[in-house]
Structure 1
Amino acid sequence: MDTIELVEESFAKLPDGKKFAELFYQRISEHSPHLMPLFANTSMTKMADKLLAALTAMVAALHDPEKLQNMLGPLGQRHLSYGVLESHYSIVGQTLLQTFEEELGEEWTDDYAAAWSEVYSNAAQIMQEGAAKAKAQNQSTTETVKKPIKTGALAWLYSLPVPKLLILWLALSVVVLEIAAIYGVPNWTRLLSACSLVLLIMTMLRGNNDAEKAGILECWKTIDSSHGVKTSRARQIAMERLNEKKCAMNRLDLAEVCLIKISLDGSDLSDSNLSGADLTESSLAGANFTKARLDKALLVSVYAPQVDMSFVTLAKANLSSSNLEKGSFLFCNMKGANLSGANLQGANLTGVLMDKNTYLSGADLRGAIIDDSMLDQAYTIGMIRPDGSVVTEV
């Protein structure tokens, strides 16, 4: 009997698949409690259902390598966003075999164990390759090109209402005529025409400015009308346009909305409610979230160097694999937050609140400012300390 047949046969012998999956997570909690923060926001019942479904699909796809690859690669990418590290795969594999042995009892054989070990090793490799690919993609970022800001006399002219601009045009026309009459400037009509042309252009620009203001108003209307709607592409575009125009978006109610891959570099979202919002893979460099609510939010793989999250509630939020370099997290509530694999180099974490469910495995805190006593409360195996040393298993 070959490996696939052994796996299929042993899997079919499970008396109760759901009970098996629930027992698996029970054994994880008993033998590897440090992994439990990964499941903080999900019930064990749902996790058991997902495990059973994944195992069933995997066993069914063993005869089709391409199908197996297409299924497990994306699964590895999703697990990366949950905060799963390479070191966790071996723990899961051992627990899986132990659970099989416990459930099947005397029917569990060495051949079954060898077959499942081979299949799981292959599956874990595919998932890790998928995770590595996703991580490489997340690390590639693009620079935002800032538009020039109008300053000085041009900004003053640009801000004038049309009636005043016309009065200015008439006044300048009179001045040019007087100069031409007194000094006999040749071709004074050309000078007047040139002056008129310039002011006409400014009038047109002013008209464009009015249109721009109307566009900004429409953006706000779009955001207001989408209140209570979880996914709105129009809202996302409106927010990006407002940010391009340097409009503050503080105090917005965006609880549980989907803003995946939104670009809000340098935005002002202070005092906003983003509880449970999904900002996965968004660009938030230099954004201001001061005093905002981001509890249970998904901030997986975000690009947010120099972000300001001072006094922010990040309880049970997922910031795994995110670039938070040199960010400010003064007195931030990080209880139950998943920061595995996050780049926190040079970040200011003064006064942050953490607990045993704060997950910092694989995070890079080199040069960060944080009280060691607070780190002692979090799970930090595999974390790089501010001094550059790596936390290892005791």
Structure 2
Amino acid sequence: MSLKIELIEQSLELIKPKSRDFVHSFYQNLFIAYPETKRLFAKTDMKNQEKKLLNSLVLLVESLRQPIILKQILADLGARHKQYGTLPQYYPLVGEILLKTFADYLQQDWTDEVKQAWIETYNTVTNMMLEGAGVDTSLQPQTPQTATTVIQQERESAPQFPKPIQLNKKTTSTSPENIQIELVEQSFAKIEPQGSAFAASFYQNLFAAYPETQQLFAKTDIGKQEKKFINSLVLLVESLRQPEILKQILADLGSRHKQYGTLPQYYPLVGDILLQTFAEYLQQDWTDEVKQAWVTTYNTVTNMMLEGASGHTVNKIPLETEVSPKKPFVSFDRLNAKFKSNQEKQTVKITSLASLLRSILDKLLEEFWALPTWAVAVGSAFFLSFLYLVADDETFLAELLEGADAISLLVALVLYIKETPDRKKEFHYQAWSTIDNANGVKVSYARILALQDLNEDRVPLKGLIAPNANLAKINLPKADLSDVNLTKANLSNANLSHANLGNALLARVNFTDANLSYANLGFAKLSYVNLSSANLSHANLVCTDLRDANLSGTNLSRANLSGADLHNAYFTGANLKDAKVNESDLRQAYLKGATMPDGSTHP
């Protein structure tokens, strides 16, 4: 796999010096071969479109060694292309023309090996984008011939795309390896419908058996961690038939877990608990054969992750060849004796009881909020009257409920609580009315308060239109501001840390001294923006339009600027240390006194 990635990287490097001509030729070739695709670009500035294609190619190649990040980027890209009107049958056409254009420009460097590498890469990219667009890839063409002839049956020159990567694909092979993979796939398919509960049980079992592992999650949102865990299991099972991809994913995962403080001795503990949790959920389906398949799979996964954590091959963990009900997953008896105690067993019981009570309470609250107000009022009155009648005269409860006025007051309190969501909706409606009424008004303190209040209630601000608005010092951390139009607005000293500003229109906005750390500005329009002295550390600026932007003194440490348009951008005195950015893109910018990604200072 690494060899194919190197071929892709090397071939794109040969294209870069003539990249503008390359993307221009691509669209010329596309429109000549398939005139029907022209309508997709009827209202498009083709120069900008050509830049987008080039940026997307650069971003794709730069992300090939980070498959998890790549999958998310391509899923988003596929969803956007669906909105533009791109149909699944257009993808083979684009692939055909892309290969043709590469052949035209690379000439003698367009070898069979390079062509094969690009074909396989394009098919993988296509599947990920189609999944992002909500297309069932299992229904897409399964053979090289069909992949190109769906659109044009008679085109003999169409490239022979190999079979696209298909997740969850079953095999009829009866080799031991394939049988074990099928057992893992079939058993996990029974777990997936109850994935959230399975993940929660796994961590409960882990913390009960090995309390010392809790320190690894001290500052972690355990709900999000459970989602990550089940997503990792899904990714693992779906990649078992693609060992090259799986090895890369697990190596990256092992490297990250090392940074989190995960020690090698934790892996057997996790394996022990994973098998225990599978046994609890699969019950009679947890056969010796299924257990052995998961034992073998987990030991293989462990080895790959440890290699990624250490940077070199490690001694393999011995795989079990026989499964005995009395035989433990790994030889960790001494650790079990050390960490399992009567007190911990008692903790498990208490935790299980607490979980049961919590689920009952959640169900009661769900029913409470669903009931109509009149039913709650009548029910509360009857219930409180019943309590008054059965309560002992000398008890506190009898004194509390004495008389009709007391019961009426308590019923009113219950109704007040019941109507809380309705009051919240009314409040949100009033806040949006305030924002709408300020449309066209440059200065509106009421609009700022309304936006802040909505964000505090985690209401998405997606699609907000407020060009020229004065929003200086606004506090909107973690706000969803995707697709907003804030052109020429004043956001100086604003707090937008961790905010989502993807695809936003932010041309000529004043972000002086603003906090945009960890913000998502992917594909946003930021031409002529003023980001002087702003904090953009760890920000996502993938394919962002930063033409003629002022980034003097801006903190861009560890930011991702892959595929960003930096033409005539000013980075004077900016901090780009450890930022991810293409050198060729930086050559279009002014960098005097800037701290470069490698830590050096630009002259």
Coarse TM-score class (shorter-chain normalised) = 0.5 to 0.7
**1:219 paired residue number:** 431
Tell me the SS of whatever aligns to 1:224: helix
Indicate whether 1:250 and 2:467 are aligned: no
Give, in angstroms, the shift of residue 231 of structure 1.
Answer: 1.7
**1:166 paired residue number:** 377
Give, in angstroms, the shift of residue 197 of structure 1.
Answer: 6.7
1:112-127 superposed matches below 5 A: none
**1:372 paired residue number:** 583
**1:240 paired residue number:** 452
Q: Report the TM-score, using the length of structure 1 for normalisation.
A: 0.54
CA distance in 2, matches of 1:155, 1:260: 41
CA distance in 2, matches of 1:159, 1:366: 53
Indicate whether 1:301 and 2:513 are aligned: yes
Pick closer, same or farther for the CA change 1:279–1:175 going to 2, 3 Å: same
Tell me the SS of whatever aligns to 1:163: helix
Tell me the SS of whatever aligns to 1:347: coil
CA distance in 1, matches of 2:586, 2:383: 69
Pick closer, same or farther for the CA change 1:293–1:190 going to 2, 3 Å: same
Match of 2:525 among 302, 313, 334: 313
Give the letter for the 1:276 counterpart: K
CA contact (8 A) 2:381 2:407 kept: no
Pick closer, same or farther for the CA change 1:195–1:377 going to 2, 3 Å: farther
**2:557 paired residue number:** 345
Give, in angstroms, the shift of residue 359 of structure 1.
Answer: 0.7
Indicate whether 1:326 and 2:326 are aligned: no
Q: Deviations over 1:181-200 (max 9, x none)?
A: 9xx89857458679987654
CA distance in 2, matches of 1:154, 1:213: 22
**2:574 paired residue number:** 363
Indicate whether 1:279 and 2:491 are aligned: yes
Pick closer, same or farther for the CA change 1:160–1:294 going to 2, 3 Å: farther
1:1-394 superposed matches below 5 A: 152=362, 156=366, 157=368, 161-170=372-381, 172-173=383-384, 176=387, 180=390, 187=395, 189=398, 200-355=412-567, 357-392=568-603
CA contact (8 A) 1:158 1:205 kept: no
CA distance in 2, matches of 1:351, 1:315: 15
**Structure 1 unpaired stretches of 5+:** 1-150
Give, in angstroms, the shift of residue 224 of structure 1.
Answer: 1.0
What count of residue pairs does the alignment treat as equivalent? Answer: 238
**2:276 paired residue number:** none
Q: Report the TM-score, using the length of structure 2 for normalisation.
A: 0.36
Give, in angstroms, the shift of residue 202 of structure 1.
Answer: 3.0
CA contact (8 A) 1:160 1:206 kept: no
CA contact (8 A) 2:542 2:564 kept: yes
Give, in angstroms, the shift of residue 164 of structure 1.
Answer: 3.5
CA distance in 1, matches of 2:410, 2:520: 43
CA distance in 2, matches of 1:241, 1:338: 31
Pick closer, same or farther for the CA change 1:224–1:202 going to 2, 3 Å: same
CA contact (8 A) 2:552 2:572 kept: yes
**2:35 paired residue number:** none
Pick closer, same or farther for the CA change 1:383–1:198 going to 2, 3 Å: farther
Q: Deviations over 1:58-109 (max 9, x none)?
A: xxxxxxxxxxxxxxxxxxxxxxxxxxxxxxxxxxxxxxxxxxxxxxxxxxxx
**1:38 paired residue number:** none
Tell me the SS of whatever aligns to 1:213: helix
CA distance in 2, matches of 1:231, 1:215: 22
CA distance in 1, matches of 2:535, 2:369: 39
Give, in angstroms, the shift of residue 220 of structure 1.
Answer: 0.9
Tell me the SS of whatever aligns to 1:218: helix
Tell me the SS of whatever aligns to 2:507: coil
Give, in angstroms, the shift of residue 205 of structure 1.
Answer: 2.7
Q: Deviations over 1:173-225 (max 9, x none)?
A: 477579x49xx898574586799876543322334543332222111111111
CA contact (8 A) 2:393 2:399 kept: no
Give the letter for the 2:583 counterpart: D
Structure with greater helix share of residues: 2
CA distance in 2, matches of 1:384, 1:202: 61
Give, in angstroms, the shift of residue 380 of structure 1.
Answer: 1.1
Structure of higher RCO (CA pairs closer than 8 Å, 6+ residues apart): 1
Pick closer, same or farther for the CA change 1:337–1:154 going to 2, 3 Å: farther
CA distance in 2, matches of 1:387, 1:199: 67
CA distance in 1, matches of 2:364, 2:438: 37
Give, in angstroms, the shift of residue 378 of structure 1.
Answer: 0.9
Tell me the SS of whatever aligns to 1:236: helix
Tell me the SS of whatever aligns to 1:239: helix
CA contact (8 A) 2:573 2:593 kept: yes
CA distance in 1, matches of 2:530, 2:536: 13
CA distance in 2, matches of 1:251, 1:279: 17
Tell me the SS of whatever aligns to 2:451: helix
